[in-house]
Amino acid sequence: MKSRDIWLWLRSVWIPALLLIMGCLVSSSSSGSLWSISIPSSGTVRAASFITFRSGMEDVAKVDDHRLSWTINHWIGGTGGETGARFGIVDFGHSSSKSLLLELFDITKSRRAEMKIYGYPTLFGSELYMSMWYYLPSDWKLTGENYKQNQLIEIREWDKDRNIDWMLSVYIKYSDGKYVFEVGHKDNTIGQSSYVMYGRAGEVLRGQWFELKFYVKRHSSSGIVALWLNGYRIIYKEDCKTRHVQDEYYLVPVKQYCDETDTYPKTVYADDLTISNALVKS
């Protein structure tokens, strides 16, 4: 084959093929860097992840004090008949104009206000990564004498007969004169003695918006939990129990809970919720 023929053959077949292969590699690489993130302590590169739900609360419609409707088929609300709690969409947004309001205004009627999101496993499965902005008024406080702890985020589980009430939570805890964040799990069928703490750190900022990102790799023994406050990772725990039963579970991205010894009303605003089924680069 003459040199000119060789060049034509390379140009017509192999050069385009090489360009195609290189294009695929570049495309694959840029896609990976956009959607992947390293778990900070291990450096493990995660597979592609996906945002499964995002809302700035601008599109939420109030159905009644216990239910809000989104554009997708999920709903939020408290437990039925708890008339001391209510939900609203108010003009106090972290982004744009609106945010979600949870009020626990009468402890004699209700002990919890919580936003439940059903929709597993489409929203998350073996991994959850969520972020949300919260605002606790400057006079927010816990007054319980024996149980100075308040759940803010929760993954809750039942077995198929709803006999087990197990939760993995981000708590607000009163400790050494200030409010801090805790991550732990509890089995309600056993009671307070079942509480297992995985980390305590940070300080709860009242009177200003703050962002929490919560990552959970769900596993019965080798799970991972991580919590970021305003972009800084403050809690990280691996090889821990983050899943109890798989039959039913749901996400509570914002919650307020009062023990019976805590009679002080609770109010929290929340905005800009993002839910993913794996870690997402922010």
Other Cβ atoms within 10 Å of 239 Cβ, number:
9
For Ca ion, give the closer residue by CB, 135 or 179.
135
For Ca ion, give the closer residue by CB, 240 or 268.
268
Q: Is 93 in the site for Ca ion (CB under 5 A)?
A: yes
Q: Is 56 in the site for Ca ion (CB under 5 A)?
A: yes
For Ca ion, give the closer residue by CB, 95 or 282.
95
Distance, in Å, from the CA atom of 195 to the CA atom of 218, rounded to the nearest integer, reads: 17
Q: Which amino acid would we find at residue 201?
A: A
Work out whether strand 149-158 and strand 248-257 pair parallel, antiparallel, or are unpaired: antiparallel
Maximum pairwise Cα distance, the chain: 95
Distance, in Å, from the CA atom of 236 to the CA atom of 233, rounded to the nearest integer, reads: 7
Tokens 């205004």 -> residue: 105
Give SS3 for 190: coil
- Output the smallest distance, CB 94 to Ca ion, in A: 6
Contact 113, 86 (CB under 8 A): yes
- Output the smallest distance, CB 265 to Ca ion, in A: 23
For Ca ion, give the closer residue by CB, 72 or 201.
72
Contact 253, 272 (CB under 8 A): no
Q: Which amino acid would we find at residue 278?
A: A
Q: Is 96 in the site for Ca ion (CB under 5 A)?
A: yes
- Output the smallest distance, CB 35 to Ca ion, in A: 25
Binding part of the chain for Ca ion, among 24-32, 50-58, 215-223, 228-236 by CB under 5 A, reads 50-58
Site for Ca ion (CB under 5 A): which residue of 38, 41, 83, 95?
Answer: 95
Tokens 């922010």 -> residue: 282
Binding mask 257-276 for Ca ion (x = CB under 5 A): --------------x-----
- Output the smallest distance, CB 164 to Ca ion, in A: 35
Residue whose Cβ sits closest to Ca ion: 93
Give SS3 for 60: coil
Q: Is 184 in the site for Ca ion (CB under 5 A)?
A: no
Encoded tokens for 267: 């109010």
For Ca ion, give the closer residue by CB, 127 or 272.
272
Binding part of the chain for Ca ion, among 13-21, 49-57, 79-87, 259-267 by CB under 5 A, reads 49-57
| Binding-site ranges for Ca ion (CB under 5 A) | 56-57, 93, 95-96, 98, 271
